[in-house]
Structure 1
Amino acid sequence: MKVPINWLKQYVEIAQPASQIASILTSIGHMQDGPIQKVKGGLVIDIEIRQNRPDCLSIVGVARELAAATNVKIQYPQIENTATFSPKGNWKIVVEDASLCFRFNTIKIDNIKVGKSPEWLKALLEFCGMESINNVVDITNYVMIEFGQPLHAFDANLITGDIVIRQARQNEKFTALGEKKLILTTDDLVIADAEKILALSGVIGSSTAGVNSETKSIILEGATYNQASIRRTSLRHAIRTEASTRLGKFLHPQLTSVALCRSAYLLKETCGAKVVASVDYYPKIFEIASLELSTDRILKLGGVKIDNIKISQILQALGFEVRGRSANKLTVLIPYFRTDVLCEEDLVEEVLRMYGYDKIPSVLPNSAPSQDIQSRYFELEEKIRDIMTSLGFDEHITEPLTTETVSNKIPIILQNSLTSEKSMLRTTLQHSLEKVLVNYQKHRRLITKIFEIGKIFFDIGGFKEQRTLGVIFSSSSAQYKEIKGIITTLISQLGKEIHQSDYFIVPIDRHVWYAEVNIDSVFGRGNIDTFSVFTSPPLVVFQDLSLVAPVEARVGEVLDTIRKVDKRIFEVELGEEPKIIDNQNKTLFIKFSLRNQNDSNVSKKDIDDLRQQILNKLKKNFLISLSSKA
C-alpha cells in the first residue's frame, strides 16, 4: 500500500518526518515493504498490509492508525449527505445469487462534464502509481485509495434494461479494458445488462458502458461481494487490480455508502454534478457487532495490567465505541470497517499493540522446565536426518503449496490460492524434490542424493496430514538395489520393526529413483530388541515371479502383499528394475524365499500352492497377472 505523506497529512496533523512516521507505523504492526521513495517531489511510504486488515488498504485507514498512535484526532474528509440520494431510481438491480453479492449500491449522477482532472488529483494518483484518465474515473480511483472501497462508473445512457449481477455462462466471452479477451466460466461473477457484460465483478470493467467524453449521466456503483469468489476469479484470469486486491478481502457493506457519498461530494465540487436518484440492493443488513473485553484477559495474554480508562482511550482512538464499563469488563462496539475483529483476543491484540509491545515486561519463569519436553516425533525425525546425512544425502525444505497434474491421493484444493501454480497442498514430496533435482542437473551434478522430511496432505473423508520422508537418488548408473539398500540401511539404523507398506520405491527416469517413507507409520511400529540367528543354514527355497502390472501399482505395496500371504514367505524383493511395456502396464520381476518354521523341507505342492495364492491375491488387489513369457 503506497501512502503519500502529503495525502496522509490531510487527515492527521503531524510534524514528524517521513522516516519517523514509518517507524511509528512499524511499531504498531505495519511494516515497510521497501524504502521510502521520492515521487514527483513528494515522499511515499510503501506499507505491507496484513491479509486481515483491508481497512488499512486506504489512506484514511492508515491515518486512523497513525492518529491513534500519536494521540492526534483524525480529520475525516467531507462527504455528501445521503438525504440528497432520494428519490429511488427507475432502474432495477437483479442479483441472482445473494451469497455472491451482499450489497450492490448505486446512485445516478447528472450534469456530468467529463474532462481533465485538476492537478492536485492527478498528482495524488500519480504518487500511488495510477495514471489519470478523466475527472470522473479519477475520482472513483481517488475514493478507492482514500477509503478502500472500489467504485465503478457506467454511462447511464449505454445501459440497456436491468443491471444484473449473475454468474457467467460457460465459455462466455468478455473483452476487458485494454482489449484483454477472456473466456469466462460459471465460477465467474459478472455485472451485465439485457444485452452485454458491463464488468467482471470486483476485478475489471469494459469499454461497453464506460465513461467517455460524451457522457452526461452516470450510474455509480459500490458493491460488496463474496471475497473468495472475487479472489478466485482474479487468480483464474491472472488479473490483479487495485479493485480485486480490496474486494478479494472482506469489506463491510456499509463502506459502499461512505464511498458513494464521498464521490458525490467530489463530483459536485469539481464539475457541478448532481445526484438525482439511487437504488440500493441490500437484502440482509450486516449488523454492527459487540464484544466483551475482560481486563484479566489482557493480563493473562499480555502479562501487563492496564487500567480500564487507558484501555477505553486506546480503543476509542481506533474507532471502537466503549458502551459499558465495570470493574474488570468492557462492552465494546466494533466499527464497521474492522471486519478482522471477531473475538475477545482480537481486542486484546489491539490494546497491546497500541499500548506498546516494548512495555510488556520480560519475566523469567519461576519454576524449572520439565525434564523431558522433547517431542518423540522430533527425536525420530532428527535420527532420520542424522542417518541420511551420514549416507551422503543433502536435506532440502520445499514449499507444501503446489499443483499436481496426477495424484494417487485425493488432494486438498485451496479456496483462496495465491497463484494458479500453488492451488493445492502436496500429496507427495516427489514433485517438489524433482524440481530440486533439475536444479542440481543444471549445475552438472553427476550424483544427486537429496531428501526432505515434511508433511503431505490428502482427503480421506476428512483432511489428513502425514509426516513423510522423501528421497531421490540419481547417478549415471543408479539401480533399484542401491536405493533399496539405502532404505534398508535407514530401517536397520532406526531399530524399528518396519513393514514394506511403510515405504515405496519408484523409478523417475532410467537412473533416477524416488523413495517415500511414511514416518507416522514408522513411529507407531515397535522397536526391534532381538534378532534371529541361524546356527546352521536353514532349508530355504528361492522362487521368482515374472509379472505384468498396471503402471500405477506401487512396488512397495505389491511386495508387502506377497509377504502377508503366508508366514513361510521369508524374504521378498524386486529382482530388477520395472520396465514400461506400454502406457498402461509394466513388468515386475519379484524374488521371494520360502522356509518352513521347523526348518523341514518345503514340498513342491507347498510351493505350487503358495505361488497360486500369491497370484490370486495380486490379481484381486492390483489386477496383476503372470507374464506370458514366464
Structure 2
Amino acid sequence: MKISINWLQDFIPSFSPNIASLVDQLTFSGLEVEDVASPTLPDERVVVGLVEDVQPHPDADRLKVCRVDVGSDEPLQIVCGASNVAQGMKVPVATIGSRLTTASGESFVIKKSKLRGQRSFGMICAADELGLGDDHSGIMVLDSSWQTGKPLASYLQSDTILDIAVTPNRPDVLSHLGIAREIAGIRGLTLPKAAEFDFNRSGTIVQIDDPESCPYYTAVVIRNVRVAESPSWLKDRLEGIGVRSKNNVVDITNYILHALGQPLHAFDLSKIHEERVVVRSDIGSEFRVINKESVVLQPGMPVICDSHKPVAVAGVMGGDDSSVSGATTDILLESAYFDSSAVRRSARLLGLSTDSSYRFERGTDPGNVAYASKVAVRMILDLCGGEVIAAEEAGSLPSPPPDVALRPLRANALLGTAIAEEKMISMLEHIGFRVSSRDGAAIIFAVPSFRVDVLQEIDLIEEVARLEGYNNIASSEKMVSSYPQARSFPEYFPDHLRSVMIALQFREVLTNPLMTRQEAQLFSSRCVAALNPISEGLEVLRPSLVPAMLKVVAHNIRHGNRDLRFFEIARAFRSGALDPSSTDPLNGFEEHEFLTFVLTGSRSPLNWSESAEKVDIFDMKGGVEMLLRKLNLLDKSSLNIYNDTTLSIDIDWMDGDKPCVLRAGTLTSAEQALLDAFDIDQPVFFAEIDLRVLEQCFSREVSYESPSRYPVVQRDLSFILPSVVTVKALLDCVRRSDDMIRSADVFDVFERETGDGSTERRVAVSIAMVDPSGTLKEDTISSIIQVVVGNAESELGAVIRQV
C-alpha cells in the first residue's frame, strides 16, 4: 500500500517528519515499510508553455506542428505526436538542453531535431517522460493559471511515497487516515469536513433483499453535476500513489477510498431504471464490468441491481453501462458495509481484484460508512457542482465490537516487561481504545469500530507490545524450555513412522488437501466440498491421499524421473452419515490420517553389470512387510487377496479377551484406466494404510526370547486342501496346534486336474519345533505332528498326504 507524506499532512498539519525515523517507527510498530520513493523534480529547463497554434504536419498524418510560447523572445516551433494537444493549453515544455529522466530511470537530453522535414526546437512532454507517473496517453495539461516560461518544478510539490506491507489482520491501516492515526493518535488528527445532511429511511431509493451480505447501505442522489477533468491537486494526490485520474467524480470516490479507507461507487443515475437500487444475491447472468470484461454472475453473489438488471458486483466492481462519463449529469453515490466473506467469494469466483474488494475482504469500519459518504458529497458539490436531492439509508450497522479485558500483570508476564498500568492505558487510548470499566485487576476497554481484529485479551497485549515498540522490549537473557525425557507413542507415532519410511528408502512428499471433484470421485463419491473454493481446481477435500500422489508421480515422469519411491502421511476427508442427536459441528464428516506410499519404475539404479528390472506387486508386498516388521506387527499381520488387483492388510488383535481382525489398509496395483486418468505410462503400485489401526496395534515394547540351547527339529508335511480353504487358514491352524511349534512356512504348492474334472491342490508346509527345556524326543515330535494333522482334518477338511 502506497502512502504519500504530503497526503498525511492533510490529517496531521504540523507533520514534518524525518523520513528515516518515520520508517523505523512504523516498522517497529508492526507496519513494515518495504520501499521509500522520493520522485526527482524535472530539470529547471522544463518550463510552462502556452500552445498558441496547432497545424497538421504536411508530411505525416499523426504529427502536428505547434507554435509554443515559453516566455522567450520568440515562440518555439515544436513537432508533437500527442492526439490531445490543442491551442490554448498550458503544457510542460522541455527546451533545448533539458535532461529528462523517465519513471523507468532512462535519461536523455533534448536536442534540436528535424521530424519529417519540419524543425523541432523542444519537446512537449507527457507525465511519464518527466518521471511524474506512468501515464503516456497524452501530454500533461497544466493549470491555466500557471505562468508561462516559469520552471515546471516551481509548481510541483516534492513528495515522498512509502510502500507499506500491511498484514491481513490490520485493515484499519489501509488508508492515509489509518496511518495518520498510528502516527499522531486519535486526538492529533484533523479530519476532512463533511456535508451536512441526514439520511432518511423512506425506502424509495434503496432496498436490501440480502441483509446477511449487505447489512447497511446508503445512497445519495445528486443532480446537475458537471463531470470534467479533476483539478491538479486532486490528480497529483492520486497519481502520486499510482492511481490514474479518470474524471472529477470518479477521482473523488478513489480519493475517499485512499484517504479514509471506505470504498464508494458513483452510478450514472440516468442508467439506473426507476432510479432505485436493490441489493440481491439471486442473480445468474452475464455482466459487463467497468473494465470492459464480461463475467458470469452466480446465485449467492451479492449484486447491486436496478429494477431490471444488475449494475454492480457488490464491493468488487461497478458495471460498464452505469458508469459515470462526460455525459453524466445526475449521479447516485453508494457507500455501504458489505460482509467480508461474501465479497471475498465473489472476487475469487469472478477472478476480479480491486482496491475496493481488497478492503472489503479484510473488513471495513462500519462506523465510517455514513461519514465517508458525507465527505465525498461535500467534495462533489465543491468540485462538480450540483445539489443533493435525496439521501437514504437501509439496513442497520452491525453491533459494536464487544469490550475486551486487559490484565496489566498478565501483559507484562507475557511480554517480559515492566510497563506501568497508566502507560498501557495511555497507549491504548492514544489509538482509539477507551476504558469503560474495571473488574478487579482487569481493565475493560471499549474497542473502536475500526479495529475489527481486536477480539480478546491477547490482541490487546499485542497492541501494547506494538505501541511500546518491539525494539524496546528486551530479549530474554536466558530462555527456559522443557523437553520430554523420552517421546511416548502413539503421541509422536507419525514422526516415528516417517523415520521408518525414510529408513526404507522412501522419500516424503507433501500435497495439497484440496483437489478437483473429478479427481476425487475416482476414489470416493463421498466428497466434502469447500464452501468457498479459492479456484476451480481446489474445490473438494481429498477423500484419499492417492490422487495427489499419482499427480506427483505423473509430474516426475514428465520431467524424466521414472524410478520413484514416495510416501505421505496426511489426513483424508469424507462425508458420512448424520447423527440427528449430535450437536457436533463436524457431524456428518469423517477425517482420518493415512500413510500412503507408492512404487514405480526400476527395482534398482541403472548399472552396467546387471539388467534393469521393473518393480512389481511383490516389491510392494515386501515394502509393506518390512514396514510391519519395523513396527513389530509382522507376526500379527497377513496380506490377503481382496480382488484381482488388491491385497488387504489385516492385523490380528485382541479386543479385551475377544480375538478379532482389523483391516489396516490395502495394497493395490493401479488399473490402466486410473493410470490413463493421470497420464501415467508405466505400472504403479501403492498402499494406503489407516494410521488409527497402526497406532492401536503398535507397541514400542519388544519382547526378547533367548535362542534355545537345544536343537530345532524340522518336519515337512503335505496336505490336500479343499478349494475353499486358504493357505493362511492352514498355516494358522498349524501354528496354534502346539506351543512348541516355532514357525510354519509354505515351501511348495502343486495343483493338478483329477479324473472327475476337479482341481486337486497340494500344499507342502515346513514346521519348526523346539523345546526350551530339553531336546525333543521322537515320541513328543510324533504326538505334535498327530495333533497338527488332526486339527487340519477336523477344522479344515485337509487330508494328509505324507508324514
Please give the range of the TM-score, normalised by the shorter of the 2 chains: 0.7 to 0.9
Instruction: Determine if contact 1:168/1:186 at 8 Å carries over to the other structure.
Output: yes
Residue 593 of structure 1 deviates from its aligned partner by 8.9
Counterpart amino acid of residue 488 in structure 1: E
Kindly report which structure 2 residues correspond to 1:314-393, keeping only aligned pairs within 5 A, or say none.
314-324=427-437, 328-363=441-476, 369=482, 371-372=484-485, 374=487, 376-377=489-490, 379-393=492-506
More displaced stretch, 403-412 vs 144-153? 403-412
Rounded Cα–Cα distance in structure 1 between residues aligned with 2:570 and 2:36 = 35
Indicate which of 532, 556, 559 corresponds to 1:440.
Answer: 556
Instruction: Determine if contact 2:721/2:797 at 8 Å carries over to the other structure.
Output: no
Per the alignment, residue 480 of structure 1 pairs with 617
Residue 86 of structure 1 deviates from its aligned partner by 5.7
Per the alignment, residue 616 of structure 1 pairs with none
- 2:417 equivalent to 1:299: no
Residue 568 of structure 1 deviates from its aligned partner by 5.7
More displaced stretch, 596-605 vs 386-395? 596-605
Instruction: Determine if contact 2:28/2:471 at 8 Å carries over to the other structure.
Output: no
Counterpart amino acid of residue 55 in structure 1: D
Rounded Cα–Cα distance in structure 2 between residues aligned with 1:242 and 1:155 = 21
Instruction: Determine if contact 2:166/2:173 at 8 Å carries over to the other structure.
Output: yes
- 2:272 equivalent to 1:155: no
Counterpart amino acid of residue 177 in structure 2: V
- 2:225 equivalent to 1:109: no
Per the alignment, residue 258 of structure 1 pairs with 371
- 2:5 equivalent to 1:28: no
Per the alignment, residue 11 of structure 2 pairs with 11
Per the alignment, residue 628 of structure 2 pairs with 491
Per the alignment, residue 524 of structure 1 pairs with 696
Residue 153 of structure 1 deviates from its aligned partner by 0.8
Counterpart amino acid of residue 493 in structure 1: K
Residue 337 of structure 1 deviates from its aligned partner by 0.6
Counterpart amino acid of residue 184 in structure 2: A
Instruction: Determine if contact 2:206/2:218 at 8 Å carries over to the other structure.
Output: no
Counterpart amino acid of residue 45 in structure 1: L
Rounded Cα–Cα distance in structure 2 between residues aligned with 1:594 and 1:185 = 69
Counterpart amino acid of residue 502 in structure 1: A
Counterpart amino acid of residue 29 in structure 1: G
Rounded Cα–Cα distance in structure 2 between residues aligned with 1:304 and 1:565 = 73
Per the alignment, residue 362 of structure 2 pairs with 249
Counterpart amino acid of residue 179 in structure 2: V
Per the alignment, residue 179 of structure 2 pairs with 62
**Are the structure 2 counterparts of residues 244 and 410 from structure 1 closer, same or farther at C-alpha, using a change threshold of 3 Å?**
farther
What is the aligned-residue identity percentage? 25
Residue 519 of structure 1 deviates from its aligned partner by 2.4
Per the alignment, residue 505 of structure 1 pairs with 667
Per the alignment, residue 177 of structure 1 pairs with 290
Per the alignment, residue 592 of structure 2 pairs with 466
Q: TM-score, normalised by structure 2?
A: 0.63
User: 1:228 is paired with a residue of what secondary structure?
Assistant: helix
Per the alignment, residue 2 of structure 1 pairs with 2
Residue 479 of structure 1 deviates from its aligned partner by 1.7
Counterpart amino acid of residue 320 in structure 2: S
More displaced stretch, 460-469 vs 316-325? 460-469
Q: What residue ranges of structure 2 are gaps of 5+ in the alignment?
A: 40-102, 104-130, 133-158, 579-585, 603-613, 638-648, 651-662, 676-681, 736-743, 745-760, 766-784, 799-803
**Are the structure 2 counterparts of residues 537 and 435 from structure 1 closer, same or farther at C-alpha, using a change threshold of 3 Å?**
same
Write out per-residue CA displacement over residues 78-131 of structure 1, whole angstroms, 9 at most, x where no aligned residue.
1314x4246777733221122221001111223311011122322332344332
Kindly report which structure 2 residues correspond to 1:265-284, keeping only aligned pairs within 5 A, or say none.
265-283=378-396
Structure with greater proportional helix content: 1
Kindly report which structure 2 residues correspond to 1:88-127, keeping only aligned pairs within 5 A, or say none.
91-127=204-240
Rounded Cα–Cα distance in structure 1 between residues aligned with 2:719 and 2:248 = 91
Rounded Cα–Cα distance in structure 1 between residues aligned with 2:432 and 2:698 = 59
User: 2:697 is paired with a residue of what secondary structure?
Assistant: coil
Residue 563 of structure 1 deviates from its aligned partner by 8.3
Per the alignment, residue 55 of structure 2 pairs with none
**Are the structure 2 counterparts of residues 266 and 567 from structure 1 closer, same or farther at C-alpha, using a change threshold of 3 Å?**
farther
Counterpart amino acid of residue 624 in structure 2: I
Write out per-residue CA displacement over residues 339-361 of structure 1, whole angstroms, 9 at most, x where no aligned residue.
11112222121112211334444
Write out per-residue CA displacement over residues 317-341 of structure 1, whole angstroms, 9 at most, x where no aligned residue.
2111223458733231111111111
**Are the structure 2 counterparts of residues 505 and 321 from structure 1 closer, same or farther at C-alpha, using a change threshold of 3 Å?**
same
**Are the structure 2 counterparts of residues 473 and 202 from structure 1 closer, same or farther at C-alpha, using a change threshold of 3 Å?**
same
Per the alignment, residue 456 of structure 1 pairs with 572
Write out per-residue CA displacement over residues 348-375 of structure 1, whole angstroms, 9 at most, x where no aligned residue.
2111221133444444779883543646
Indicate which of 264, 268, 280 corresponds to 1:166.
Answer: 280
Cα RMSD between the aligned structures? 3.9
Rounded Cα–Cα distance in structure 2 between residues aligned with 1:6 and 1:542 = 94
Q: TM-score, normalised by structure 1?
A: 0.79
**Are the structure 2 counterparts of residues 302 and 593 from structure 1 closer, same or farther at C-alpha, using a change threshold of 3 Å?**
farther
Write out per-residue CA displacement over residues 589-628 of structure 1, whole angstroms, 9 at most, x where no aligned residue.
xx999999945474699579xxxxxxxxxxxxxxxxxxxx
**Are the structure 2 counterparts of residues 540 and 566 from structure 1 closer, same or farther at C-alpha, using a change threshold of 3 Å?**
closer
Rounded Cα–Cα distance in structure 1 between residues aligned with 2:575 and 2:38 = 47
Counterpart amino acid of residue 595 in structure 2: L
Write out per-residue CA displacement over residues 148-196 of structure 1, whole angstroms, 9 at most, x where no aligned residue.
2211111223222332111233x42222223322222211221111122
User: 1:466 is paired with a residue of what secondary structure?
Assistant: strand
Instruction: Determine if contact 2:733/2:792 at 8 Å carries over to the other structure.
Output: no
Rounded Cα–Cα distance in structure 2 between residues aligned with 1:435 and 1:448 = 13
Rounded Cα–Cα distance in structure 1 between residues aligned with 2:24 and 2:438 = 33
Per the alignment, residue 47 of structure 1 pairs with 164
**Are the structure 2 counterparts of residues 183 and 285 from structure 1 closer, same or farther at C-alpha, using a change threshold of 3 Å?**
closer
Rounded Cα–Cα distance in structure 2 between residues aligned with 1:126 and 1:65 = 24
Counterpart amino acid of residue 379 in structure 2: L
Residue 27 of structure 1 deviates from its aligned partner by 1.7
